[in-house]
Chain A
Amino acid sequence: MTNNPISQISDEEIVSMTLRERSTFGFIVERYEAKLRRYIERLGVRDKDDQMDVLQEVFIKAYKNLNSFDIQMSFSAWIYRIAHNEAISWYRKHNVRPEGHLIADSSEVLNLIKSKEEAADVVFDQNINAEEVNKALLRIDEKYRQILTLRYFEHMEYDEISDVLKIPVGSVGTLIHRGKKQLLNELNLDSIRI
């Protein structure tokens, strides 16, 4: 993969190439399939076939709307926004409650909990049961779960999150702060210490 010259080309350049030659869009699919699959799975699309359907729609929509991509924002945020919207409309269409499947490893979860930004004024023991944190994440409000997912599992910057969720940059920090507070309330600290 790293030896492939296409990996040296930026998303924005591939977009320009795709507008001239349709087949180049395959590189976008290759580049984002795994990330977006993981993301929509975290948002609640768990069945493999459903994921395939949703992803296909995501990429078709991305292709149709390529001309709306604003070169001043990151392509990653742009395509995540499409995936986000598509996942939400999927579970609305299927009338199911979005139950995220936070397939995070312990280091990701620890990262979330130990994060000093917008600190929730609670000092955590480092020995934390990731399983419990995952369960707590599933119990918090959807809007907080979405934003914590983007921040700590997709490792996005605030302005990227703002672009994905279409909310003001200032609100991103506030929502993360509140989300973490709610998460802490949901966590039973005694039970998560090993």
Chain B
Amino acid sequence: MKDMETENQNQNQLKDSVLNRLVSDNICPTSKTWFVSYDILAWTLWLTATLVGALAVSVSLFVLSYHQYAFYELTHDNLYTFLEDVLPIIWFSILVVMVLFSVYYFRHTKRGYRYAPWRILGSSLVLSLVGGLALHTVGVGFSVDRWLGGMVSGYESQEKMEQRLWQDPDSGRLIGEFIGVDTVFPYNAIFVDIDGVEWRINTNDLHKDEVLELESGKAVRVFGQVLSKNPTYLHACGVIPHIYGSDYDKYEIEEYRDAIKAHLSHFYSSDDELSNSICTKIEPIMRFRDQFTD
């Protein structure tokens, strides 16, 4: 009986002290807007992280699909060294970080804790992949890569990477544009590379489609043998479109790649007049031959 009285006393004591403190400290419930805003913020951050993750996927897909047509044989010893050079590690890392962020933010939504982290992780990853594929399909990956390349000096866009890999006269690789035909030697094209150096380019060994591509005035990649640096003179063995400087779609590039491959195969076909060309002795062509004869 006495215990019950004490308990009742304690209960009233607590109730009174709580209510008194609410009055004396003028405590009011925090506004509902604050809590709703917090929840909206968590969802927004989750959405942002998922979107950035999707963006990372779309740029990665663009980079990977772009490099399908990169003719790694012409610039690298093998596929491994090529992949090491071009794999979009930074975008893969961004994807991983963003997926982790989206798990974190989702868990901070009102009922996010009810779901197992691996389930949130899996669905965030799937959302980023699906979103990334959609963004890539409408060309967002390409635009983001190009935009970042122009805006951020430290970011190596595909354009910059292409320039790093291809503007290398010592290895017989140039990026630039055709500006005219040599009036004295009509098979020599006049070409200006992206460093502003003017070259005479011997087009004798090029396929007619390559000559057309070169003379279209679009930015192109040329590879061959540098015969002289003063004056600058290059014997061209192949012309490849430079995607960034042009408006090719990926199907055109794919067709072009097949045509180039077919053309290059002439350099190592014993019954072809091109088999005695200077091009048969340059390293990229030899690598190509090795690949085809394997």
A interface residues with partner B (beta carbon < 8 Å): 19, 22-23, 25-26, 29-30, 33-34, 52, 55-56, 59-60, 63-68, 70, 159, 162-163, 166-171
Q: Count A/B pairs, Cβ under 8 Å.
A: 75
Which segment of B70-78, B113-121, B182-190 sits at the interface? B113-121
Name the residue of chain B whose CB is nearest to the CB of A165: B113
Closest 9 CB pairs of A and B: A67-B32, A166-B113, A68-B35, A66-B29, A29-B15, A168-B116, A59-B18, A26-B15, A67-B29
Q: Cα distance A33–B110 when bound, in Å?
A: 26
Interchain CB contact under 8 A, A34 and B7: yes
Q: Would you give the shortest CB distance from B259 to chain A, in whole angstroms?
A: 56
Residues of B within 8 A of A171 (CB): 116
Q: Cα distance A163–B114 when bound, in Å?
A: 8
Which segment of B19-27, B47-55, B94-102, B161-169 sits at the interface? B19-27
Q: Does B30 contact A (CB under 8 A)?
A: yes
Q: Would you give the shortest CB distance from B230 to chain A, in whole angstroms?
A: 72
Given contacts A25-B19, A56-B21, A168-B115, contact A33 B11 (CB under 8 A): yes
Interchain CB contact under 8 A, A60 and B21: yes
Interchain CB contact under 8 A, B110 and A63: no
Q: Does B14 contact A (CB under 8 A)?
A: yes
Interchain CB contact under 8 A, A65 and B113: no
Interchain CB contact under 8 A, A63 and B29: yes
Interchain CB contact under 8 A, A55 and B14: yes
Interchain CB contact under 8 A, B30 and A56: no
Q: Cα distance A64–B30 when bound, in Å?
A: 6
Residues of B within 8 A of A64 (CB): 27-30
Residues of B within 8 A of A63 (CB): 18, 22, 27, 29
Q: Does B153 contact A (CB under 8 A)?
A: no
Name the residue of chain A whose CB is nearest to the CB of B17: A56
Name the residue of chain B whose CB is nearest to the CB of A23: B19
Residues of A within 8 A of B27 (CB): 60, 63-64
Dominant SS among interface residues on chain A:
helix
Q: Cα distance A166–B10 when bound, in Å?
A: 31
Residues of A within 8 A of B35 (CB): 65, 67-68
Q: Cα distance A70–B10 when bound, in Å?
A: 30
Residues of A within 8 A of B18 (CB): 25-26, 29, 56, 59-60, 63
Name the residue of chain B whose CB is nearest to the CB of A65: B30
14 of the cross-chain contacts (CB-CB < 8 Å) are A22-B23, A23-B19, A25-B22, A34-B7, A52-B10, A56-B17, A56-B18, A59-B14, A63-B22, A66-B29, A67-B31, A67-B34, A168-B117, A169-B114
Residues of B within 8 A of A169 (CB): 114
Q: Cα distance A21–B14 when bound, in Å?
A: 19
Q: Cα distance A169–B116 when bound, in Å?
A: 8
Q: Cα distance A169–B113 when bound, in Å?
A: 9
Interchain CB contact under 8 A, A30 and B15: yes
Q: Cα distance A132–B113 when bound, in Å?
A: 35
Interchain CB contact under 8 A, A33 and B29: no
Interchain CB contact under 8 A, A170 and B22: no
Q: Would you give the shortest CB distance from A68 to chain B, in whole angstroms?
A: 4
Name the residue of chain B whose CB is nearest to the CB of A22: B22
Q: Cα distance A56–B27 when bound, in Å?
A: 13
Residues of B within 8 A of A19 (CB): 29
Interchain CB contact under 8 A, A29 and B22: no
Interchain CB contact under 8 A, B113 and A67: no
Q: Would you give the shortest CB distance from B13 to chain A, in whole angstroms?
A: 8
Q: Cα distance A167–B107 when bound, in Å?
A: 10
Q: Cα distance A170–B115 when bound, in Å?
A: 8
Residues of A within 8 A of B22 (CB): 22, 25, 60, 63
Q: Cα distance A166–B115 when bound, in Å?
A: 10
Contact with A along B67-90 (1 / 0, CB 8 A): 000000000000000000000000
Q: Would you give the shortest CB distance from B33 to chain A, in whole angstroms?
A: 9
Residues of B within 8 A of A25 (CB): 18-19, 22
Q: Cα distance A142–B10 when bound, in Å?
A: 29
Name the residue of chain A whose CB is nearest to the CB of B13: A52
Name the residue of chain B whose CB is nearest to the CB of A59: B18
Q: Cα distance A34–B7 when bound, in Å?
A: 9
Interchain CB contact under 8 A, A70 and B17: no
Q: Would you give the shortest CB distance from B108 to chain A, in whole angstroms?
A: 10
Interchain CB contact under 8 A, B29 and A168: no
